[in-house]
Amino acid sequence: MGIGSKLSYKARKRWSLVILLVGLPVYIVTVVTVLNWIGQPPFLVELLVYVVLGMVWILPFKSVFRGIGQVDPDQED
């Protein structure tokens, strides 16, 4: 189980917004900066790096995002 399973629905929703609005742009800038420092790789290698790293960033946060688009399970009718 991940971190998200220990958080309430509202906390996971807030953390998902922080991750998307702050963490993702920081991650993107970091990846682009590191690739620029390394130098210009061939196009297909660069594309592969961006695709792989574009999917890898979500793995640690998978449990935080799980079920965020659903109705709040703690909410009473």
* Residues 6+ away with beta carbon under 8 Å from 42: none
Residue pLDDT, tens place only, 39-65? 888 999 999 999 999 899 889 888 888
Quote the pLDDT of residue 5. Answer: 63
Separation CA 26–CA 24 (nearest Å): 5
Q: String of b and e for 46-62 (b: at least 16 CB within 10 Å)?
A: eeeeeeeeeeeeeeebe
**Residue 4 pLDDT level (bands cut at 50, 70, 90):** low
**Per-residue model confidence (pLDDT) at position 16:** 93
Query: Can you give the pLDDT at residue 71?
Result: 81
Is the entire prediction scored with pTM above 0.85?
A: no
Write down the mean pLDDT value for the chain. 86
Report the C-alpha gap between 68 and 13 in whole angstroms: 6
